[in-house]
Structure 1
Amino acid sequence: MRPWFYIRKLRPLLYVMAGLWLLSSVQQVSDIESKGFLSGGLLRPRVMRALKEVPPEVMSYRREFMRSYPLQVDLLPYVMDKITNGTEIPFKKHYPHNYTYIHKPEKCKFYSQKGARLAILVKSAAQNWYRRHTVRTTWAKVHPGVIKVVFLVAYNKSVQGMIDYEADFYKDIIQENFQDAYFNNTLKTVMAFNWAMESCADANYYLFVDDDHFVNVPGLVQFIKSLSRDTQENLFLGFLISCGEPERSKTSKWQISLELYPFDLWPPYLAGGAFVTSFSVAQKMQLAFPYVKPIGIDDAYLGMVAKKLSIRPMDSVNFHTTGPYASYEYFIHGKLKSNKTGQKSHGVFSLPKTECI
């Protein structure tokens, strides 16, 4: 028989195969346009390779952040309605904090309801027992009726026995069951705000500080008392970074991908070493956390939440690296080594009016 005879016999099968291929291609294009992902099929490998070759586009923070990260809603009215009237926020909690406590201290108790009732939440790596000991035996030795000092740690299997002992002996450890790692510092910060609102709502100010800082507690309390009533109510104060750029280098400790944060600038934020908030600011932030997409850089994340809530960060050199009220320190053989330069106290400077806002 001639070859054309076989082709003619197989022609219906060839038509069917061509039709199936076409339907598969159309379906995949439809999936990309309507759902943003690919289903299985003949085109998937080629399309996926093509998509990987297209780099993500940098978005303008000034034009896009408020309306596109991550909810296209103004959170502040809903948060205020929740605080004032108890009305539930009518959006799905896309970013819930689904972790449980391993250890948490008893509720705060202040002997007086007058003046500055200050809770100090010290962020600490699980293995940094010597820093926690140094803090307990130096600047944190203030009357417990005046301040409450607690330590924020996460889970680390290799040192968990030590953490259990500390928590039982000192009663000052807040720990949840997520892994203790640098890029989980945001989870540690959210944990701190949650505990503060649950168990330390009698405080009217909260200082968040790293375990390698020295805090002049009496000076800090007097400084807060010296502020105007309006500043005290809206206090979100520290070392202001008003126009920061995300670090894109893959070799950097603070690298953040375009897929995770596509904007060219950060909102104004406070460097995470030491900052202080009022109860009012802390309450708003804690309610907003489930609706703002988290990132691993905790201080920048708080700046994003503050921006969504129209909270204005404030700058003061009292909280800069060598500031008189919260200064960076380093440790030698378990002893506190000062890095202060003898700066004089300065006042509060409101957020600069720059184009980065």
Structure 2
Amino acid sequence: MVVKIDDDVVVNVFALSAYASSDAGKLNGIHCLVFENVKPSRNRRYKWYVSEQTYSRDKYPTYCAGAAFMMRTDVLSTLCEASDHVSQFWVDDVYVTGILAEYANVSLIDIGPYFGFWVRSNTKRMANTTLFIHTGRPNRLGSKRGILWNSVIRGSRTVNSDFNWTVGIHTRNVTSFPSQWALLHNVSA
């Protein structure tokens, strides 16, 4: 399994190992915190501003939080092949896990219950089944990462191999996506 994480994410390597070897971890798709019905920011002052000329749809395709996600190597190969047919888009999490995944008909496996996103500053413990905690800006929590990591070490033996991981599967049903993409982005299908 290939895991992509940002520098502001704490990984529970013990839970991740248990998850990767579980039935849920073997599902084919991108395992992540799923975002649905997200609109592109049209406010020029916002860091993630996207003009209508750059992206004309009202909403992004369902995609993964870019802080952390994982997939099997065959899924990565499929996305790489799709990138030969789809023009690049600068918002990388939307591009890779949304646009390319939609083009290639790759499912998203929602691991939301095991993903701590925007953790509060007084958080001192990471649940034994939490795979990732997004701490925000790298310098924001400082020593909190150490505290969270120590909680991972203390709880390392409590996730056993028979834990029942519950995930949601977001399948794609796109039969005409290539032509839609070509129309939106002026590329040939």
Provide the TM-score with structure 2 as the length reference.
0.67
Who is 1:257 aligned against?
51
Say whether residues 1:313 and 2:132 are aligned partners. Answer: no
Of 26, 32, 35, 1:241 maps to: 35
Query: Take 2:11 and 2:168, find their aligned partners in 1: how far apart are those partners?
Result: 20
- Matched ranges for 1:6-25 at <5 A: none
Query: Take 1:295 and 1:252, find their aligned partners in 2: how far apart are those partners?
Result: 17
Distance apart, 1:335 and its partner CA: 6.3
Q: Which has the higher contact order (CA 8 A, sep 6+)?
A: 2
Say whether residues 1:281 and 2:75 are aligned partners. Answer: yes
Aligned-partner residue type, residue 58 of structure 2: D
Aligned-partner residue type, residue 168 of structure 2: F
Of 149, 162, 168, 1:349 maps to: 168
Aligned-partner residue type, residue 105 of structure 2: S
Q: Which runs of 5+ in 1 are unaligned?
A: 1-204
Query: Take 1:319 and 1:334, find their aligned partners in 2: how far apart are those partners?
Result: 17
- Matched ranges for 1:74-85 at <5 A: none
Who is 1:219 aligned against?
15
Larger Rg: 1
- Matched ranges for 1:326-345 at <5 A: 326-329=132-135, 330-332=140-142, 336=146, 338=148
User: What whole-Å deviation, never above 9, does each CA across 1:136-186 have from its counterpart, x for those lacking one?
Assistant: xxxxxxxxxxxxxxxxxxxxxxxxxxxxxxxxxxxxxxxxxxxxxxxxxxx
3-state SS in 2 of match to 1:290: coil
User: What whole-Å deviation, never above 9, does each CA across 1:58-116 have from its counterpart, x for those lacking one?
Assistant: xxxxxxxxxxxxxxxxxxxxxxxxxxxxxxxxxxxxxxxxxxxxxxxxxxxxxxxxxxx
Contact kept? 2:108, 2:171, Cα under 8 Å: no
TM-align CA RMSD: 2.9
Aligned-partner residue type, residue 88 of structure 2: P
Provide the TM-score with structure 1 as the length reference.
0.37
CA 1:257–1:233 in 2, change beyond 3 Å: closer, same or farther? same
Who is 1:63 aligned against?
none
Who is 2:178 aligned against?
none
User: What whole-Å deviation, never above 9, does each CA across 1:199-220 have from its counterpart, x for those lacking one?
Assistant: xxxxxx1110001111011210
Query: Take 1:352 and 1:219, find their aligned partners in 2: how far apart are those partners?
Result: 25
Distance apart, 1:336 and its partner CA: 3.4
Distance apart, 1:333 and its partner CA: 6.8
Query: Take 2:8 and 2:78, find their aligned partners in 1: how far apart are those partners?
Result: 28
Distance apart, 1:314 and its partner CA: 1.5
3-state SS in 1 of match to 2:168: coil
Q: Percent identity over the alignment?
A: 23
Q: Which runs of 5+ in 2 are unaligned?
A: 120-128, 173-189
Query: Take 2:27 and 2:45, find their aligned partners in 1: how far apart are those partners?
Result: 41
3-state SS in 1 of match to 2:55: coil
3-state SS in 1 of match to 2:60: coil
Contact kept? 1:318, 1:325, Cα under 8 Å: yes
3-state SS in 1 of match to 2:102: helix
Between 274-283 and 288-297, report the one with greater CA deviation: 288-297
Contact kept? 1:242, 1:267, Cα under 8 Å: yes
Distance apart, 1:235 and its partner CA: 3.0
Who is 2:65 aligned against?
271
Distance apart, 1:350 and its partner CA: 1.3
Distance apart, 1:290 and its partner CA: 2.6
Query: Take 2:21 and 2:141, find their aligned partners in 1: how far apart are those partners?
Result: 31
